[in-house]
Amino acid sequence: MDLLERARTLAACPLFENLAPAVIIRLAERARAIDLERGERRTTDDDVWVVASGSFAVVVREGTAADPTAFATASIARRRGAGAVPGNALGLVRVVRPVTPVVEVVAEVASVLVGLAVDDVRDVLEEDPAALAAIADRLAALLLEGAG
């Protein structure tokens, strides 16, 4: 996935839709795309993920890397968690509140994620307070839409 495709994926994310094009490009320059097969997992330990394609089961991580048997399976994740589809962002709150619980995503089908290191997102938002305000405003609007 080239820079332009990463930028399009980020711009299609509802949380990022009010960001200036220059901010989207700065984020896309730091982003990486990752192809996952069904059953592969990623966490929000150190990354923000935007779903480019496919679908994921999402749960708060139950285990640790030292105890991988405690991780939820995809079927458990579907029963107890939520789903993520193209445009969804995962782990963004950890950028501003690192103590937010880590979530784990399990690919339900072959999927693509665009990943950004939490520190990279934090750097871009610290450089551009208007970008941080745009994300905060959009998050508030999305939460209000969901409550209504």
pLDDT of residue 97: 85
* Res. 147: pLDDT tops 90: no
pLDDT band per the 50, 70, 90 thresholds, residue 69: very low
What is the set of domains in the chain, with CATH numbers?
3-142 (2.60.120.10)
Q: What is the pLDDT of residue 144?
A: 87
Mapping DSSP to helix (H, G, I), strand (E, B) and coil, where does residue 61 land? coil
* 21-56 pLDDT, tens digit each: 999 999 999 999 999 999 999 999 999 999 999 999
Give the per-residue pLDDT at 81: 56
Residue 107 has pLDDT above 80, yes or no: yes
Task: Share the mean pLDDT of the chain.
Answer: 86
SS3 at position 131: helix
**Is the CB of residue 114 less than 8 Å from the CB of residue 105?**
no
Task: Find all residues with CB under 8 Å of 3, minimum gap 6, and list them.
Answer: 25, 28, 29
From the list 25, 21, 102, 29, the residue with the least C-alpha distance to 61 is 102
Distance CA 124, CA 17 (A): 16
**Per-residue 3-state assignment (H helix, E strand, C coil) for 74-110:** HHHHHHHCEEECCCCEECCHHHHCCCCCCEEEEECCC
Q: How confident is the model at residue 148 (pLDDT cuts 50, 70, 90)?
A: low
| Residue 98, pLDDT score | 85
Specify the range with the lowest mean pLDDT, choosing from 74-83, 116-125, 135-144: 74-83
CA distance 64 to 90: 18
Q: Is a pLDDT exceeding 90 seen at residue 68?
A: no
What is the distance between the alpha carbons of residues 44 and 100, in angstroms, rounded to a whole number?
A: 10
Parallel/antiparallel/unpaired status of strands 32-36 and 56-60: unpaired
pTM, two decimal places: 0.82
The count of C-alpha atoms lying within 13 angstroms of the C-alpha of 123, restricted to the half-sphere facing its C-beta, is 9
For the cut 70, the answer to whether the pLDDT of residue 109 exceeds it is yes
Whole-angstrom distance, CA of residue 80 vs CA of residue 131? 33
